[in-house]
Structure 1
Amino acid sequence: MEKKWWHSSVVYQIYPRSFQDSNGDGVGDIQGIIQRLDYLADLGIDAIWLSPVYQSPNDDNGYDISDYQAISSEFGTMDDMEELINEANKLNIRIVMDLVVNHTSDEHAWFIESSKSKDNDYRDYYIWRDAQNNDVPNELKSIFSGSAWELDEQTNQYYLHLYSKKQPDLNWENPKVRNEIWEMMNFWLDKGIGGFRMDVIDLIGKVPDELITGNGPMLHTYLQEMHQETFGKLDVLTVGETWGVTTEDAKLYSASERNELSMVFQFEHISLDEQPGKPKWDTQPLDFIKLKQVFTKWQLALDGDGWNSLFWNNHDIPRIVSSWGNDSPQYRRVSAKMFATFLHFLKGTPYIYQGEEIGLTNTPISSIDEANDIESLNMYKERLNEGYNKKDIIQSINKKGRDNARRPIPWDDSLNGGFTTGTPWLALNPNYKELNVKEDRQNKESIFNYYKELIRLRKEHDLIVWGSYKELLPNDPQLFVYERSYQDETWLIIINFYEKATIYKNQDQKVDTIIISNYSDSGKNLEQLSLRPFESVVYKLD
């Protein structure tokens, strides 16, 4: 496998609406990001995955784009965007743009034209079907609740929207659509960006008449054409969001000889607290043995044949320290560091979601009036109509709702956490006075400094990037233990996933040194190692 810069990199995701507001309107913006670049450079990250800043009516907070080659006024201007790219490049930080091309906004010029008449030149830019038996064309469902088909009364046909009805799906079978997208991607590549994160890219090969949405038959043909027409000759990072991907699928996406993408986001691990075949709101206790099995499967299956992303959090996923860890004052720091250790010594490219590096927590709500996200609002209405109890619906939103990840970043303990001088678009977590960037960085047990050290280790040790993986104790109900080996050197990673103390019994290993630990006084004797709540230690073996 040819070595690329992104193999040893760490990527930081910014949700710009919630990162830093520079002008007091309550919405984070591009100039706010520029103001915080030194913070990110200090952390040591190599690239920023920037959630959409394009022109948008914000039905889905920017993932409904009305103009791919314009910046939303609430975020700034194209001059601001070019300044961000240039200033980040000076710090050796690349900007990875969010590419949302499964769908557009219904306010995009293409869709406005497409909906004018059945013979409009843009009609086939989208997916239109006649009614069947005076009803929707088929039973495809929207991920945001209800039918995936919406009737356009002007032309008396239905259009497909796998998300909001204001997010009509593009027709990738139309070569004109693909050429428009290649032109747009090259527009951004010419500005010097470092690549693309591709939103729900596994859906672009859909065959709606056959009820096929993910991983359709033409998907990889489209991606290979994309590679050839846009980024293929450039040294950039491309990552596809692929919810239903298998390890075999992932090799098709990311094996270098196939000329598609650098890597995939796969979500098998993050969905383990959801009941199979049911919406994400219907949860079940996390099966820790299965969690280890999933990570081990992906570590082994892609070894030499593809590349994976490593993550716990993003703008769609609640805070891991609250979901599967312990966010109490007593254990939040060691718990957050445990999750970091668990992930950052695996093979793959780690992603840090803004605030993860200081251990931000979920923000429970008590009323639907406190929710902002369209997915949660739609689910609430749907389940009320189905007879669910209000309290149970709110409990589901608190556990799985996307607003948890989207609360503004608290930079200090001043009004609104230093995020804005105005009224925040979404309220901060009330704990921001105690839990903020300034407080964490001043604390001798700083989570920020722990992440900084993890990033340094990855850059300095090829073992983390290229070493082989071997899991030990796969059936232990509490410990995740694995070895990474490279060129006659072996590191042992021991993770206590739970609050309960436990014992690790020696597997005939001798310690050379402790590489990193989330306790300052971890033991070096592996004869019978006592592990405290959430303790995680990385040893270099003798």
Structure 2
Amino acid sequence: MTKEWFKDSVVYQVYPMSFQDSNNDGIGDLAGIKQRLQYIHNLGADVIWLNPIYTSPNKDNGYDIADYKNINSNYGTMQDFDELLQQAHQLDLKIMMDLVVNHTSDQHAWFKESRKSQDNLYSDYYIWRDPVDGHEPNNWLAAFGGSAWTYVPERKQYYLHMFAAAQPDLNWENPEVREAVFDVERFWLDKGVDGFRMDVINLISKPAGLPNIPEPVTSGTTMDFVADGHRLNEFLRQMNEEVLSKYDTITVGEMPGATPTDAIKYTGLDSHELNMVFQFEHVVLSSNPDVRMGKWNDEPVKLIELKKSLNRWQTGLDGKGWNSLYWNNHDQPRAVSRFGNDSPEFRELSAKMLATTLHMMQGTPYIYEGEEIGMTNGHFTELNQYEDIESINFYDELVNQKHILNQETMLRYLANMSRDNARTPMQWNSSENAGFSKATPWYGLNSNYNEINVENSLSDKNSVFYHYQKLIQLRHDSELIRYGTFEPIDSEDTQVYAYRRHYEGKTLLVLSNFTDATVERNYQQSEATKLLINNYADDLDTKLRPYESKAYLFEK
């Protein structure tokens, strides 16, 4: 297998708005991130992924970009960014930008011009269609609820937006749009950034003719229908040929609905497009059986289904592509609340168990800010505690408009699945506002910050933080962990996730108990050369205590 630096790396994701406020206006900023670079370096991460920091009206927290070449004033200035980049590089930390080019903000200069008429320089930069029988051009629904089309009287046409109405989709069929995007990429790469995470990049090629979707139509079925259009490979290859191949980059494409086969097409070791895919299969496993409700539910993920999904990606990409490994991010609930047990008794154990399970796999691990200290969901109980446009829109649609759910049920679903669970400010210490800011934070703090915070974690040698630090060091030191092939064990086991990795005569055995009961499993672990890591202080051989996870090395 080709050894490239992104395969040896661990990525730490920073959601700038919620990471560290340096000027006490309640909003995280670039100078705040700069203050915390040493912390990220000490954890052992190699790359920082920054969520969007560009000029934006923040209708979708920065994923609605109004100017790709300027910094959102809430976060600072371009000089602040240049200093952050320089200091990160001095610590051998690379910076990966979030590139959002399926759509822009409706406040972008391109769209402001495009909406004026059907015959100006930017008229074809977006996807416009005439009404059909006085209605929307087709039956597509937006990811955040409602129609994917909005009417503009000046043009007497509708524009397409796969997300919010404030996020019009770019027309990638127009070569001028592609060149404009490539120009943005060159701008940042010439500054010295090390790559891009590309938001919903598999939506940029729409189905020819934009046909109706077969019933029943939901936001999810619309997304699946639109994804992976017939020109996607062509567009990504052109991007690689004209821009990416001329720089030493890390590139990961967020691709809703992608399968391992899709991933190999776009990121295969022999392809010339992207390095990795962010797939969603394992984070949508507990989707509501009522398709009208999509992801909104409070059902725990079944371990057999989780193993089936992760194993499929591990074996499917082995030797053909490269996995991205993640439990949570800015769009997903907190890992320990979703896949583990965030009760006081089991939070740290299950957080460490999840970390070991994922970090021993083949691929590039991603750590979302606060995951490394076991931050939990917010457990909010009132609608006014939510800020996320998706959460608020779907509450309105499912409770107020369609009367599919009652208020109590939807609030329970939001507490389980809302993106806002990941967006509460980073918990640095037990002082005012968790050390995030001296001002009232832009978004409410998780009430448990007095117990769960960085300061407490760093003072406890058995904390979740040091477990992550050890996992990262093990990965850096071991080609077996980085490159070994993957062998699933007992896929139908409802309690334990077990697998082996093999590389150059060495074997790694990983065992993780996903329950709060003590169970027994014998995989000849007594014959192991060494116990590499465990989340308990001792090893009871074949016994696996609640949420116990351990990795053994076998050498011939």
Report the TM-score when normalising by structure 1.
Answer: 0.98
SS at 1:159 equivalent: strand
Counterpart of 2:221 in structure 1 is: none
Equivalent residue in structure 2 for 1:258, among 264, 271, 282: 271
Distance 1:76 1:447 in 2: 32
Distance 1:161 1:423 in 2: 33
Equivalent residue in structure 1 for 2:533, among 493, 497, 516: 516
Matched ranges for 1:40-189 at <5 A? 40-189=40-189
Identity fraction in percent: 49
Distance 1:508 1:188 in 2: 49
Pick closer, same or farther for the CA change 1:390–1:284 going to 2, 3 Å: same
Distance 1:12 1:196 in 2: 14
Number of aligned positions between the proteins:
538
Counterpart of 2:334 in structure 1 is: 319
Matched ranges for 1:255-294 at <5 A? 255-275=268-288, 277-278=291-292, 279-282=294-297, 284-294=299-309
Matched ranges for 1:231-250 at <5 A? 231-250=244-263
Counterpart of 2:193 in structure 1 is: 193
Could you tell me which amino acid in structure 1 is paired with residue 131 of structure 2? A
Distance 1:283 1:414 in 2: 32
Does the aligned pair in 1 maintain the 2:102–2:169 contact within 8 Å? yes
Counterpart of 1:360 in structure 2 is: 375
SS at 1:122 equivalent: coil
Distance 1:489 1:304 in 2: 18
Does the aligned pair in 2 maintain the 1:333–1:445 contact within 8 Å? no
Counterpart of 1:4 in structure 2 is: 4
Distance 1:44 1:540 in 2: 22
Distance 1:537 1:244 in 2: 32
Does the aligned pair in 1 maintain the 2:297–2:416 contact within 8 Å? no
Deviation at 1:196, TM superposition (A): 0.2
Could you tell me which amino acid in structure 2 is paired with residue 414 of structure 1? S
SS at 1:505 equivalent: coil
Q: Which runs of 5+ in 2 are unaligned?
A: 213-224
SS at 2:521 equivalent: strand
SS at 1:514 equivalent: strand
Deviation at 1:113, TM superposition (A): 0.2
Distance 2:548 2:525 in 1: 21
Distance 1:169 1:443 in 2: 48
Counterpart of 2:215 in structure 1 is: none
Does the aligned pair in 1 maintain the 2:300–2:339 contact within 8 Å? no
Counterpart of 1:532 in structure 2 is: 545
- CA-based RMSD: 1.2
Equivalent residue in structure 1 for 2:348, among 310, 327, 333: 333
Deviates more, 1:482-491 or 1:331-340: 482-491
Deviation at 1:520, TM superposition (A): 1.0
Deviation at 1:283, TM superposition (A): 5.3
Deviates more, 1:233-242 or 1:309-318: 233-242
- Residue deviations 1:239-297 (CA, integer Å, cap 9, x gap): 00011101111001111322000111111111111136451114544221121111111
Counterpart of 1:214 in structure 2 is: 227
Distance 1:467 1:243 in 2: 27
Distance 1:2 1:537 in 2: 28
Distance 1:477 1:536 in 2: 15
Does the aligned pair in 2 maintain the 1:509–1:541 contact within 8 Å? no
Equivalent residue in structure 1 for 2:495, among 478, 489, 499: 478
Deviation at 1:508, TM superposition (A): 8.1
SS at 2:124 equivalent: helix
Counterpart of 1:444 in structure 2 is: 461
Distance 2:504 2:84 in 1: 40
Distance 1:506 1:30 in 2: 48
Could you tell me which amino acid in structure 1 is paired with residue 210 of structure 2? D
Does the aligned pair in 2 maintain the 1:274–1:283 contact within 8 Å? no
Pick closer, same or farther for the CA change 1:156–1:433 going to 2, 3 Å: same
Does the aligned pair in 1 maintain the 2:300–2:338 contact within 8 Å? no
Does the aligned pair in 1 maintain the 2:298–2:412 contact within 8 Å? no
SS at 2:448 equivalent: helix
Deviation at 1:104, TM superposition (A): 0.2
Counterpart of 2:240 in structure 1 is: 227
> Are 2:554 and 1:541 aligned?
yes
Distance 1:106 1:157 in 2: 15
Does the aligned pair in 2 maintain the 1:407–1:426 contact within 8 Å? yes
- Residue deviations 1:143-181 (CA, integer Å, cap 9, x gap): 000000001122211000000000000000000000000
SS at 1:432 equivalent: coil
SS at 2:414 equivalent: helix
Distance 2:107 2:525 in 1: 64
Does the aligned pair in 1 maintain the 2:138–2:211 contact within 8 Å? no
Does the aligned pair in 1 maintain the 2:529–2:552 contact within 8 Å? yes
Counterpart of 2:522 in structure 1 is: 505
Does the aligned pair in 1 maintain the 2:136–2:149 contact within 8 Å? yes
Distance 1:306 1:541 in 2: 26
Q: Which runs of 5+ in 1 are unaligned?
A: none
